[in-house]
Amino acid sequence: MPQTVLYHFLTEVPEAAAIWSALLLLALGLLAVLVARPEREGASEPAPDPAAQEAARRADLRRYADEVAVAAAGAAQTARRRREQWLTAQDEAERAWRAYDEAEGAARRFAMAAALPAPQTPRTPAEYAARERWLHHAAMTAHWRGDLSARQLADVLAHRNGWDPRRHPAEQEIVLARAVRESRRVVWAAAADRERRAWRDAELAAEAARTLSAEAYAATGALRPTPADRATAARTPVPAPSAVPSAAARATATPRPA
């Protein structure tokens, strides 16, 4: 029995070793084929065409130049519109300043007249009613001109915030002139602020337009042929004209019968 087991061991182990060796060699061969295949495939790829690459590059440049040109045209239009808005705001600020300066002069004249004594009038209910009517009429007129806001007019009609209908019209006119001056000063300050913001927006739009215009010019210049391109075109052979004469030449060269 031991001899039989030993016999089977000595006869079957070499066979198994041979099978495993064959399988290992087969696996190594397949691995070598897989590793070598990408190299062969990469080597079989055609070389890039320089002319096609140059054509693609110029197509990209042309597309970029078109996009920048459109953006530059839009920026120029925006700059013109912002400049017009600034000029309009500047006119409004100048008009507001002139109105404020006029109100300042009127308030100064009334302040100088305040040094004079107020006219003496009888203090009767009819006189006070007349003073109140004068104040209301003057305040409403100033409101219609835009010199008093609706809130200020309401203060006048309600006789609050310093508005006293019992004062003499000369005194009320001084108070009204000061209120008009303050109202116009507020209007002028707001107009001046709008003018400054419009000027800043116009400057930013003009700078953006100049930048995009320069970029569009540079992009267009990149499409022009370079000296190297012109030299390449000069070295390109021009096909010779055909040796066959044209019909007009043949008719001229053929002698006419006498």
DSSP code string of 13-72: HHHHHHHHHHHHHHHHHHHHHHHHHHHHHHHHSPPPPHHHHHHHHHHHHHHHHHHHHHHH
- Rounded CA-CA distance 175/250 in Å is 109
Percent of the chain with pLDDT over 90: 22
Q: Which of 104, 108, 99, 89 is nearest to 188 (CA)?
A: 99
- Rounded CA-CA distance 71/153 in Å is 51
Q: What is the pTM of this model?
A: 0.57
CA distances from 8 to 15, 153, 189 (A): 11, 126, 115
**Per-residue pLDDT at 44:** 54
Average confidence score pLDDT of the chain:
76
Name which of 67-76, 80-89, 112-121, 122-131 the model is least confident about.
112-121
Q: Which two tokens stand for residue 241?
A: 């004209």
Q: Which of 160, 154, 161, 119 is nearest to 139 (CA)?
A: 154
Which of 36-45, 190-199, 229-238 is the most confident on average?
A: 190-199
Q: Where are the domains of the chain?
A: 53-222
Helix (H, G, I), strand (E, B) or coil at 117: coil
Phi and psi, residue 225, nearest 5°: -65, 135
Residue 92 pLDDT greater than 80, yes or no? yes
**In the block, which residue shows the tokens 């043949």?**
250
Model confidence at 254, pLDDT cuts 50, 70, 90, reads: very low
